């Protein structure tokens, strides 16, 4: 019997459970859980999968090897094969250590401004490698690519996650990513419909408003979604944002005018419509969690991502069907789409080839993107200060407690230390005091980019004041920016134009290595390079 007939013949409660995707830690043991309010214990998770028959899981955290074991464990608990998803917009290594971590999509958009064909080749290769490595870990649903057009420099949550600010470039690169991913048996996702790029509010905290005309939507936000649909994208994720031109009452996730009339009927999308996480702050003040689940289905969603309480959500939806508010046909339509998606991926080989992770193809692609998108200004390599001259390696990061890309051995820290620089590490989450009256010669390294749960897109006011003061004192030897190009623009507008700088969109160890190889004379690094530059 096929998965389709199995799902449509399940009891109503279990059909509805198939429409739920819950979050779980990629770690194997309960004591490793980092976010207990979002990630259930193994006992709770097993109950959801075995007894409720929940249809899918979204994973976060854990090493690649551990996640491969975890996904097998979850599939063993489930009565029906699971959708196992992850937000892997920058490769599997972005979330799960040990796999390939690619530069952010905006690096590809930057390459596209000079060589669109090369950027498309890289985007396709990124999609293919991401899909291949995801399957190796048992992940069969990529919550990627982001197809938002990031034309708002103050956007704190999309930023470098987008391919850029040009709808045509975003369309070309997104469809190339999808084509590459579809060389494997995985599902792809275009997000966040109808477009989260021109907002200055993080929907994890509050409800953004995309207050533009219908014509503007058609020109900027919508073309990448239309291209993704034409390319056969498997699912589209709704954005938690209010779009008054289409619906001035309900956010897109809860709007039938947007998800049904526009996405389904006008654009002809026949795949899965999945909500963004229902626990996010953009929706938390709209109504109760149970009502959110019902409204999302009424709007046209097939899959509810991360309802705050799956048990209560399922019970509320069952009651809505029983009292006639939701029809059985509406549930059947979603379950049928879910079944079709599961049939597409059910025969995919997963979890058996861990040695294939982070192989030469992924490393070469990463290095190619880094090289092609690196920007520099001024005279490099830097001359080393005299042996007795004090010098600081000032590293400023968004959050000192959440920067997995930095460690004692990573190039941004270890290499300047070997060259006599004293480490000074500051976090933008704290107020940065002004520099001392007579600061030493300083190499500045800035790690800042848009990310979920950041309230600002770039440099904090105290960071800006600190850098201006250093610049005025004439002690800045060079600046390396890892992340947001909008931060680079601020530096160019506000600091001494004679200060040399290096810019890369990426923050991982390989990006640090490349930047510092440009910063210093390779002959100065020879012994160190053999040990750390791999």
Task: Kindly list the catalytic residues.
Answer: 204, 276
For the CA atoms of 432, 435, 439, 442, the dihedral, rounded to the nearest 10 degrees, stands at 40
257 vs 267: CA distance, rounded Å: 12
Tokens (6 digits) for 42: 């193994």
Tokens (6 digits) for 265: 């009927």
Determine the angle formed by the axes of helices 328-345 and 289-299, rounding to 10 degrees.
80
Tokens (6 digits) for 106: 């905006």
124-156 burial, b at 16+ Cβ within 10 Å, e below that, comes to: bbbbbbbbbbbbbbbbbbbbbbbbbbbbbbebb
Tokens (6 digits) for 166: 């040009």
Do you find a cis peptide bond into 145, omega within 30 degrees of 0?
yes
SS3 276: coil
SS3 331: helix
Output phi, psi for 3, to 5 deg. -60, -35
Vertex 65, ends 20 and 32: CA angle to 5°? 65
**445 touches 412 (CB < 8 A):** yes
- Which DSSP string do the residues of 178-207 spell out, in sequence order? HHHHTTSS-B-EEEEET--TT-SS-TTTS-
436 vs 30: CA distance, rounded Å: 46
Place of tokens 């006011």: 461
Place of tokens 């809860």: 254
Which residues are CB-contacts of 113 (< 8 A; sequence separation ≥ 6)? 169
**253 touches 238 (CB < 8 A):** yes
CA max distance for the chain:
81
For the CA atoms of 90, 92, 97, 100, the dihedral, rounded to the nearest 10 degrees, stands at -70
296 vs 254: CA distance, rounded Å: 5
SS3 354: helix
Strands 501-504 and 375-377: antiparallel
Determine the angle formed by the axes of helices 105-112 and 167-181, rounding to 10 degrees.
120
Phi-psi sector, 153: left (phi>0), alpha (psi -120 to 50), beta:
alpha
Instruction: Name the residue among 409, 469, 410, 474 with its Cα closest to residue 441.
Output: 474
C-alpha distances in Å from residue 158, one per residue of 152, 170, 174, 404, 464: 9, 13, 15, 20, 22
């Amino acid at each position: 019997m096929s998965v389709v007939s199995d799902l449509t013949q399940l009891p109503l409660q279990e059909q509805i459970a198939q429409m739920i995707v819950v979050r779980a830690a990629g770690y194997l043991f309960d004591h490793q859980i980092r976010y207990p309010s979002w990630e259930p214990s193994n006992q709770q998770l097993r109950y959801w999968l075995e007894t409720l028959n929940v249809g899918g899981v979204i994973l976060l955290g854990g090493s690649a090897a551990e996640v491969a074991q975890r996904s097998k464990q979850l599939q063993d608990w489930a009565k029906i094969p699971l959708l196992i998803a992850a937000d892997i917009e920058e490769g599997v290594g972005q979330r799960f250590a040990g796999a390939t971590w690619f530069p952010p999509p905006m690096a590809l958009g930057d390459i596209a401004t000079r060589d669109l064909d090369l950027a498309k080749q890289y985007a396709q290769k990124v999609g293919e490698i991401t899909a291949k490595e995801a399957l190796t870990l048992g992940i069969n649903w990529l919550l990627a690519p982001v197809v938002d057009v990031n034309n708002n420099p103050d956007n704190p949550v999309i930023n470098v996650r987008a391919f850029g600010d040009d709808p045509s470039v975003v369309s070309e690169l997104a469809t190339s990513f999808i084509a590459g991913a579809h060389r494997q048996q995985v599902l792809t996702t275009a997000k966040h419909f109808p477009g989260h790029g021109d907002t200055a509010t993080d929907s994890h905290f509050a409800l953004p408003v995309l207050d533009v005309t219908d014509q503007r939507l058609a020109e900027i936000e919508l073309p990448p979604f239309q291209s993704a649909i034409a390319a056969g994208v498997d699912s589209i994720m709704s954005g938690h944002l209010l779009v008054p031109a289409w619906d001035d009452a309900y956010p897109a996730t809860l709007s039938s005018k947007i998800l049904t009339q526009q996405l389904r009927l006008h654009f002809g999308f026949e795949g899965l419509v999945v909500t963004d996480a229902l626990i996010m702050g953009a929706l938390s003040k709209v109504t109760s969690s149970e009502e959110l689940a019902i409204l999302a289905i009424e709007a046209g969603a097939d899959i509810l991502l991360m309802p705050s309480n799956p048990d209560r959500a399922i019970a509320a939806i069952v009651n809505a069907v029983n009292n006639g508010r939701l029809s059985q046909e509406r549930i059947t339509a979603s379950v049928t789409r879910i079944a079709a998606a599961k049939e597409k991926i059910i025969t995919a080989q997963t979890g058996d080839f861990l040695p294939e992770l982070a192989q030469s193809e992924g490393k070469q692609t990463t290095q190619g993107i880094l090289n092609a998108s690196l920007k520099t200004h001024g005279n490099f390599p830097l001359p080393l200060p005299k042996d007795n001259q004090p010098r600081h390696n000032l590293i400023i990061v968004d959050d000192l407690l959440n920067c997995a890309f930095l460690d004692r051995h990573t190039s941004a820290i270890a290499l300047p230390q070997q060259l006599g620089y004293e480490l000074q590490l500051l976090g933008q989450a704290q107020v940065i005091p002004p520099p001392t009256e007579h600061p030493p010669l300083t190499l500045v390294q800035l790690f800042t980019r848009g990310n979920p749960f950041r309230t600002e897109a770039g440099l904090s006011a105290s960071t800006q004041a600190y850098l201006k003061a250093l610049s005025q004192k004439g002690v800045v030897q060079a600046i390396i920016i890892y992340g947001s190009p909008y931060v680079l623009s601020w530096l160019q507008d506000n600091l001494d134009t004679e200060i040399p700088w290096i810019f890369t969109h990426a923050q991982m160890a390989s990006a640090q290595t490349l930047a510092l190889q440009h910063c210093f004379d390779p002959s100065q690094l020879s012994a160190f390079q053999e040990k750390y530059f791999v």
